[in-house]
Amino acid sequence: MLTLQFIPYADIDRLSSEKRIEKLLKIVKDEKIILLEGKLRAEEEASLIQRTMEEISKSFKGIEISPLNVHRKEDMAFFQKIKGRLINFLLGSRQGLTIIGPATIVKEIRQDPDKIELFTTTARKRK
């Protein structure tokens, strides 16, 4: 069975970067796919990869992660861009969606500017 867990941005908003990563990693290690409202900061993504590497074991092979932007940059008005950048700088981004899943379940997340495809491994393969 495939479990998707939605995490609203409000759930991680007040957490430190370390706590955010800890929370996300715990859910992924429970073999759930996270749909996170918003995006992590670039530094948080790097820390998530570092923490993931520390946790790699026979049963946990790592993660697949992919953010999805709701608005394409060229569609945004100038002031929206400035506002977006300021929010990104201060709080990380609330816009868009980030998919994070365990590599044992999510084989690949393929994205291009207009679509996102999630490829999962078959249940038999996982066992």
Task: Please report, as ranges, the residues that interact with another protein according to CB under 8 A.
Answer: 41-43, 45-46, 49-50, 52-54, 56, 61-67, 103, 109-112
Helix (H) or strand (E) holding 115, with range, is strand 115-120
Closer Cβ to another protein, 11 or 43, answer by number: 43
From CA 97, how far away is CA 8, in angstroms rounded? Answer: 10
17, 42, 40, 35: which is closest to 101 by C-alpha?
35
Closer Cβ to another protein, 14 or 73, answer by number: 73
Please report how close the Cβ of residue 30 comes to another protein at its closest, in angstroms. Answer: 17
Residue 5, CB-side half-sphere exposure with 13 Å CA sphere:
17
Please report how close the Cβ of residue 79 comes to another protein at its closest, in angstroms. Answer: 20
Closer Cβ to another protein, 75 or 112, answer by number: 112
